[in-house]
Amino acid sequence: MKRISKLAVIDDDSVDQMAVERYCKIGHLAEDVLSFHDAESAIHYLSNAHATDDIPDVIFLDINLPKLDGWDFLTEYENIAPKLPKNISIYMFSSSISELDTAKARNSKWVKGYIYKPISLEKIKRVLGEHSATA
């Protein structure tokens, strides 16, 4: 499987954060994993990253975040996206099985898919495979 260069995880749960990093390492799935514990720092990073290499190919976005939540991030992302040098595939990353959340994710033009927690090696492989196939 083709290895992607950069994956970003926006999640306040340190276990999930660590798990994505470890899985990527174990499965050689991404060269680099960026970790953000809240939406604000991710928005700040994306707004100030200009080099294509600095921009993640894929973002795993948790819904339940302190202060700004995942949906708020998407609202902000609307403004950032046009200035970015490449497209980012965003996947919602949540333990919520609420129909409301999944429907919201389906209706968002920025969201490519929904990853239910618990995360696993297979889930990351599938999602990144999907990304490589369409990218």
Partner 1 sequence: MEEVLEFFSNLFQAENWPPRWYCGKWTSFHGWLYIFSNLAIWAAYFAIPLIIFIFITKRRRDIPFLRIFWLFIAFILACGTTHLMDATLFYYPAYRLSALILFICALVSWATIIGLVKVLPHALKLKTPAQLENIIYSRTKELQVASINLEKQNSQLRDFAQITSHNLRAPVSNLITLLDLYKIDNNQKNKNDYLVKLDEAADKLMQTINDLSEAVKINSNKDLIRDTNRFETVLNETVKSLSALVDKYNAEITSDFSQCPTIEYPTAYLQSIFLNLLSNALKYSSPTRRATIHFKTTIVDGKTVLKCEDNGQGIDLAKYGNKMFRLNKTFHGNDDARGLGLFITKNQVEAMGGTITVESEPDKGSTFIINFS
Query: Which of 111/115 has CB closer to partner 1?
Result: 115
Q: List the one residue from 98, 106, 126, 135 that touches partner 1 (CB under 8 A).
A: 98
Binds partner 1 by CB under 8 A, chosen from 52, 75, 79, 120 = 120
Q: Which is nearer to partner 1, 35 or 96 (CB)?
A: 96
User: Secondary structure of 34-101 in the HEC alphabet?
Assistant: EEECCHHHHHHHHHHCCCHHHCCCEEEECCCCCCCCHHHHHHHHHHHHHHCCCCCEEEEEECCCCHHH
Pattern 24-63, partner 1, x by CB under 8 A: --x----------xx-------------------------
CB-based contacts of 93, cutoff 8 Å, min separation 6: 9, 10, 11, 16, 60, 61, 62, 63, 115, 117, 119
- Beta carbon nearer to partner 1, 62 or 88: 62
Shortest distance, CB of residue 1 to partner 1, whole angstroms?
17
